[in-house]
A and B are shown apart, each in its own frame.
Chain A
Amino acid sequence: MTLTRPAPGRTTGAAVASPLEAAATVSRRPAILCAATLVATGSAGAALLVAANRAAEWDTGRQFALFWAGMLVFTLPAVYWLVRRGTGTRLRVAVLTAYAGFTYLPKLLRTPDGPLYHDEFAHWRQAREILLDGRLFEQNPIVKVVGDFPGLHSAVAAISGLTGVSIWHGALLVLMVAHLLVVLGVAVLAEEIWQDARIAAVATIVYSLNSSFLFFDTQFGYESLAIPLLVWTLVALHRAMRGPAGRARLGWSAVTVMLSAATIATHHLTALGLLGVMLILCAVATARALRRINPRAVTWTAWALTAAATVLVVSYLWVVAPRTAGYLDPYLARALDQFAGMAGEGGGGGRTLFRESIAPWWERAAAFGAQGVAGLGMLAAALWLRRRREGDAVSRNGALTMFVLGSCYFPAALLILTPSGAEGARRSWAFSYLGIALVVAPVVIWLLDRAPFYSGTALLAVCAVVMVGNTAAGMNPSYRFPGPPVFGSDTRSAIPEVSAASAWLRSTQGRDLRIVADRYSGLIFGSFGGQRPVTGSVSFPTYDLYLAQPGRQPSPRLIEQLSSWRFTYLIVDRRMAREVPEIQIYFETNEPVPHSDKPAFTLGQLTKFDRTPWTIKIYDSGNIAIYRFDFASLRKAAR
């Protein structure tokens, strides 16, 4: 059976514009052996991952060793089958698919039932709002710009609505498909550049070692869908640049523009990252065109599509999502300030890596080692690119572009030393590691071809170290493993008591209520509770309510804001007076709250609302109290 009918007057070979793939493995024996190996190691790996989660739940401390044993017992044999010279095209595709499926398992086991990471609550709420109200672009109280980028949550809501699965299961389906698309996309992009399936497989493996691959870019967050779209946009762009002039180039250009549009409708940073990569490609193509080593059509195609993508991105950010600049700008500005502070005399403003982390010493050591490996890999890639000038103009442009992109990894890594830059640095690695992966891969294959046994063993060991190190650097243990409740952790603060309070408020008072809350209560009340929490900002400092000493009235301006904007409820989590938040945030990143090893609040500051006539305490469960505002009683005194 064919998927398309034969073109009249054409032979099969002539119709296939792309080079034919290598013939499939003649013998079925390797495929059967590979399948048996991977089924066995996959089952063992899955069992070890379950054991790791269980060890973490019971706080035995063995979760790290079990987790990595589980990951490596599958991934190392998979890597072997991927880079093996005799592996056929289809077998390689099958192993890549299995690799994508297995590497989604840690996140699946971490969050099987519902949202857990910070941004997941925001997207979950947004998807539910679409199902309830049928509208897009509703403002999100947890991440204020999420609503402006409906790509992911509208897809999830649509699948949930069409199939009847829950929002979470719909999200898991989309995310698993997106994860597979990243894996296959990197392989296809690498093959576009290097025309070699083994190099493509290695590039995919190297990319999968980046710090966001296992947990961050598998979450119910917009980048998880946007990054595969970025990769496939680059695939289409390369084909447009390479394609024969005329309708084929026009067709691939249309695919590029379509996927660029989807990227910007999904995630702001990825769209900007895509523009960045396209601009690097244009710069490389232009430099080569000036030296007359690039066909003019290649350069013009790159510029035209970059211009089209720029128009799309700028128009979207200008017309549909004008709040995005205001949302992103403070992070960058604060990061630069903190970086300047670190460089200055005081040396302040920085952060200590792995501070109070429970990650074992070998994970931390691997995290530093992984940066060294990346540096060495890029050095080797630079030498390789200088000596070997292989491939057509498009391949060479692509390789040089990826080298420049990969080089951006190192300056971004410095930002990890600042509290505000750390988030951005982590997010940028998913882009810059694409560059590293695509230029280091041919060096790896060259090494393997020289001394297969020794270099193969050494490279597997290096692969293991980099996977361990990058994952440790990118995600803290409370995001990776379950465990006892921890106050001030996005993933472990949500004890049943908070969920019960949120459910009570929703069932008795309704949804879409404007409430004042801390970061962690806000996540639950804003998502499952369906409310509109605010956690404070410079212009609307709701945290001043909590900070006010007993007997002191909050500022009239704040009361005026709360009253005129119809805020009706106040949520107080008394754990703020007993514990220090794990991530050192009570309300938001820029809060004027003292941070030390002692809680920033006294119990008196949090229970003062029990004695103020303008706050009626309607619910209390020990840790969580809910008050209703009665601003008309503000100046009244009670006996």
Chain B
Amino acid sequence: MTTPRILAATYAALAVLGFAGGPPWVLTPLCLAALVALGELWLRALAGEAMPTVTRIGLATAAGLVSLPFLAITLHATGILIRPRALAVGLAVLATLLGVIVLLRERADGAPVDPRLPRTVAAVAIPGFLTLVAGFLALQAYDRLPHPPQPGYTSLALNGWAGDIDRPVAIPARGVHVPVRVSSAGRPAATEPLRVRVGSRLVSGRALAVVPGTTRSVDVFVPAPPGNCLHRIEISLGATSTVFYGHGPGQRRC
């Protein structure tokens, strides 16, 4: 393929990748092809001579691939954020630079011919595609087989405003409703005791149904601790618990 055609194909591919979009299964081979084309331009610009076909395929692929980190580093150094459009434009600029060098070089020396290349490309592409298909089928088969269950859990977390508690809470005389989040996965349905302790004193307790595969918020009433002392406040559900600290409204010294 002539250099202008490679350039045109690269620009078209980059335009689709950067601006048009499409399904990933179309864009991925397109991206790979654009990178290999870019790698071919690198080779024509730098080495500029014929070489064994496998060497050409390998070096073009490697050079195309490393264009991405080179470009990313350049964008970073110039303060441009690495985004898909910036990458597409950057690759197009790189292709243009390489294309100019190649065209100048070819005007002086001509371009070498290698009629074996298309067949060797096919010799890489066909088994490559077949192994991809084999890998995909193997993954599908593996996915569909039954797998052992993962260990389950029940979690309890401070929720809503209580999730932001970062210091002792001043609890008014009327007490406070503390939202907690209960989540369960991979365990059978159960009823767990939901308890509130202020210091070592159990102040309330009730049963709470824990449904597997659900997450819900529950308000738990915490009465005001006696006096202005710092009290440990524990809300527990079965074996799990949350703990924060608070003091009551009184003026009594501890």
Instruction: Give A residues with C-beta under 8 Å from B.
Output: 1-10, 12, 15-19, 21, 24, 38-39, 42-43, 46-47, 49-50, 53-54, 57-58, 89-91, 93-95, 97-98, 100-102, 104-105, 108-109, 112, 130, 133-137, 150-152, 154-155, 157-159, 161-165, 169, 173-174, 176-178, 180-181, 184-185, 187-188, 191, 225, 228-229, 232, 235-236, 239, 243, 247-248, 251-252, 254-255, 258-259, 261-262, 265-266, 484-485, 495-497, 500-501, 504, 508-509, 610-611, 613, 616-623, 626, 628, 630, 632-633, 636-639
Contact = CB atoms under 8 A, between A and B. Distances in A.
Given A136-B73, A266-B69, A485-B151, A94 B124 contact: yes
23 contacts: A2-B118, A3-B117, A4-B111, A4-B112, A7-B110, A95-B127, A97-B131, A137-B76, A158-B82, A158-B87, A162-B87, A180-B128, A188-B55, A255-B43, A258-B66, A262-B62, A618-B242, A618-B244, A619-B242, A621-B240, A622-B153, A622-B155, A622-B239
B32 A177 contact: yes
B120 A134 contact: no
- Which of B73, B132, B254 has the most chain A CB atoms inside 10 A of its CB? B73
Given A259-B62, A617-B243, A630 B158 contact: no
A103 B153 CA distance: 37
A3 B50 CA distance: 11
Contacts, number: 377
B50 A17 contact: yes
Interface in B1-56: 1-2, 17-18, 21, 23-24, 27-28, 30-32, 40, 42-44, 46-55
B63 interface: yes
Name, among A4, A173, A496, the residue most crowded by chain B CB atoms within 10 Å (CB to CB): A4
Please give me the 8 A-B residue pairs with the lowest Cβ-Cβ distance, nearest first: A101-B131, A7-B110, A134-B81, A621-B155, A262-B66, A154-B72, A163-B27, A497-B153
B155 A12 contact: no
A254 B52 CA distance: 18
Interface of B: 1-2, 17-18, 21, 23-24, 27-28, 30-32, 40, 42-44, 46-55, 57-59, 61-63, 65-66, 68-73, 76, 81-84, 87-88, 106, 109-120, 123-124, 126-128, 130-132, 134-135, 137-139, 141-143, 145, 147-148, 150-158, 163, 165-168, 181, 183, 185-186, 199-200, 225, 229-232, 234, 239-245, 254
A134 B135 contact: no
A173 B68 contact: no
A90 B128 CA distance: 14
B43 to A, nearest CB: 7
A500 B252 CA distance: 43
Given A105-B131, A251-B49, 20 more contacts: A4-B1, A5-B113, A15-B49, A16-B50, A17-B50, A18-B52, A21-B53, A47-B141, A93-B54, A97-B124, A98-B127, A155-B66, A155-B69, A157-B82, A161-B83, A259-B62, A262-B66, A619-B155, A619-B157, A638-B231
Given A155-B69, A163-B28, A610-B243, A18 B55 contact: yes
A162 B62 contact: no
Nearest to B62: A232
B2 A5 contact: yes
Given A50-B142, A485-B151, A621-B240, A135 B66 contact: no
Nearest to A637: B230
B23 to A, nearest CB: 8
Contacts of A42: 130-131, 134
Interface-central residue, A10, A93, A626, by most chain B CB under 10 Å: A93
A12 B135 contact: no
B73 A150 contact: yes
A90 B155 contact: no
A501 B229 CA distance: 32
Contacts of A266: 69
B243 A616 contact: yes
Given A93-B124, A639-B230, A500 B116 contact: no
A613 B127 contact: no
Given A134-B81, A188-B52, A638-B232, A165 B28 contact: yes
B141 to A, nearest CB: 5
Contacts of A155: 65-66, 68-69, 72
A151 B69 contact: yes
A144 B132 CA distance: 34
A102 to B, nearest CB: 6
Contacts of A157: 72, 82
A59 B107 CA distance: 66
A1 B118 CA distance: 7
Contacts of B229: 638-639
Given A105-B134, A130-B82, A174-B65, A621 B154 contact: yes
Given A21-B53, A158-B72, A618 B84 contact: no
Given A108-B135, A109-B142, A4 B51 contact: no
Contact of A500 (B106, B117, B153): B153
Given A50-B138, A90-B123, A57 B84 contact: no
B80 to A, nearest CB: 8
